[in-house]
Amino acid sequence: MSSLKDKVAIVTGASSGIGAGIVKELLQSGMKVVGLARRKAKVEKLGKGYDGKLFARETDVTKDGDIVNAFNWTEKNVGPVYVLVNNAGIARMSPIDEADIENIKQVLSTNVIALTICTKEALKSMKANNVDGFIINISSITGHYPTPIPGFSIYTTSKYGVTAFTESIRRELAASGSNIRVTNLSPGLVESEATENFLNKYAYIKSEDIARGVKYIITQPPGVNVAQLTLRPVGEVL
């Protein structure tokens, strides 16, 4: 297991929740962490008191140009990407026949299209710099089992897409002889700004739990790819 010190990680959706927890865990490991989020000021507050160094970049992942600029800036100013954590994601609850079309597009754009473009840019950086790095896509338990809670059809669809995409690129890289490792990380219900309405009804885990899962993935010895990691709260019935 090689040291993570000074290696470069990009985390999307870094301003709060799971993303913020992952940023802190990677900084604790001494990494250079580029946190991408629309709320840059919130990301900047995460960087104090750690061995690693934080770089906050205001980025809207639904804008292709923002993504490309963020990755180009990172490679030029921080270094080649070693870890990408595709965490940015949103949910919009609504029965499908009542769903706002713009909300449908926003969920798919954020959860699937942006993740795909970020992966493309990270792989480009890794290959150009001969980096055997990690792509970690934050999916969801709903990317394996549809939730019984009504109104989540588009979110569930997006997370199934993430699960399928992750396994597809893992196989694609393996077939090419690449040592870049790819993981689909699927949490159950996680405490965050977006899940406040569910926390008094269902068992949940915390962002720090997901962050430790990320650390576990990227500290495996060469030759070990954690292809799927599922983290669910004890007693979860969803």
Q: What amino acid occupies position 206?
A: K
Given a contact cutoff of 8 angstroms between Cβ atoms, the answer to whether 238 and 189 are in contact is: yes
Q: What is the DSSP letter of 194?
A: G
Name the burial class of residue 128, with classes exposed (0-12), middle (13-18) and buried (19+) by CB atoms within 10 angstroms of its CB: exposed
Enumerate the active-site residues: 155
Burial 192-221 (b: 16+ CB within 10 A, else e): beeeeeeeeeeebbebbbbbebbeebbeee
Q: Looking at the chain, how many residues does it have?
A: 238
Q: Which two three-digit tokens encode residue 184? A: 């689909």
Nearest C-alpha neighbor of 12 from the set 79, 72, 57, 52: 57
3-state SS, residue 186: strand
Number of neighbours of residue 228 by Cβ within 10 angstroms: 15
Number of neighbours of residue 162 by Cβ within 10 angstroms: 23
d(CA 47, CA 206): 20
d(CA 121, CA 191): 30
